[in-house]
Structure 1
Amino acid sequence: MQPIIGASKQRLRWKSRSVVLCLVETRIHPHCFRCACHYGLRLVNRSGINDGQLVTSCLGYIHGLTWDKVFRTGQGNKKPLGVYTASDEGISTSRDVSTGNTTTGIKADGQIEAKAGLREPYRIKATWIFHPDAVKQIRKRKDGDGQYPWSPGIAEGKTILGLPYVASQCAPNMFSTGIYVAIIGDFQYYWIDVALFMQIHVFNEWYAVTNQIGRIGRGEIDGMPVLEKARSRLTLA
């Protein structure tokens, strides 16, 4: 259980000043998730591969991909609450920005509005998160002369509007009315609680009849965005 600064009010008085902070209680409960695989002993014996190392690497990749997805789009029901999920417990629709966008595309005006919606303390540490399809759409913009405007200030490979960006396959990539297409903010205000990073169980006897080995990877994790004003979420008009 952690306290969160949910809102603040400042009252100025003659020759004095008082600041009132509202603390909102939130609870993070790590939830179990798992993935499994099984493979033939014949393959292992003939190839001489280090199956334990290979499977650990594969399960680790699957776990990482799962975490990335739920941190982006998780619904918060026995799993983390994602940054692209509208929720009063995380980021509400009050942080959504659609001004300047069309019903099918991200426009520069919309990105400028989203960035301007952040206060300076959060803007200086902010990062964009897009799906690669959204980055491609931005990259393919052309001006009235048919030239690509991805240039200083919107520099290829480094920043968009002067801020770094991340292209995640787990970000939304549907481009239609009201759909989230990007988020910008200071992501240190996303809290993660890892009770069990990854634990792998080996089942030799379970698949012995089919001459196979089974492995199950388990983890326990939860996460949620806090301090919603540290982010702006970009939607289409």
Structure 2
Amino acid sequence: MIRAMVVDDDALVRLGLTDLLDGDDAVEVVAQAVDGLHAVEQATAHRVDVALVDVRMPRMDGITATRRLRALPHPPRVITLTTFDLDEYVYDALAAGADGFLLKDTDPAEILRAVHLVAAGSAMLHPSAARRLIDRYHHTNRPQAAEARTRIGPLTPREKDVLALLARGDTNADIAHTLGMRESTVKSHVSRILTTLGVTNRVQAALLARDGGLTP
């Protein structure tokens, strides 16, 4: 059973998402929160596997909440909710540790799919949208580049190949086809890459790849 939390200051949005999630036999909504501060309190009081978090909220916004949630002793996975797919706040939320983002008008079946994917340890990031976010809002400076190269250094040559394609926005299936590997092997490589780099999702890995010069 996936234990979920819905975080949004709009009561109707909370109700709609809660009804949707509770309609899935494998998901249970164990908490709701009206803003980021309330979300942290609820996640501390309840074990939460996946939190759907709005970006713009009073008291504590979704970006700060994401960072605080991911810093908890038992951190939930976080899916950011937003109205705009190229909102700079979404980029900030992903950089803060969110595992994906969804538009609020996303098809209900895709929202459920995202919850299941994220709960299983994957990221729900549309490749092209993720790349556009990186291109639009990420700017490299020399200290970032030096740190990125240091963190990328321990990766094997094959892992660097995988990381470069991941940063390009390729899916695991795309990477497997390009490099002539099994998709399960790519998945293992991605898991080791994230661990070695000390990041929690593919977007953060892509940022380091950009800073470290693996991709233009």
Task: Classify the TM-score, shorter chain.
Answer: under 0.3
Report the structure number with the largest CA radius of gyration. 1
Relative contact order: is structure 1 or structure 2 higher (C-alpha 8 Å, sep ≥ 6)? 1
More strand by share: 1
TM-score w.r.t. length of structure 1: 0.25
More helix by share: 2
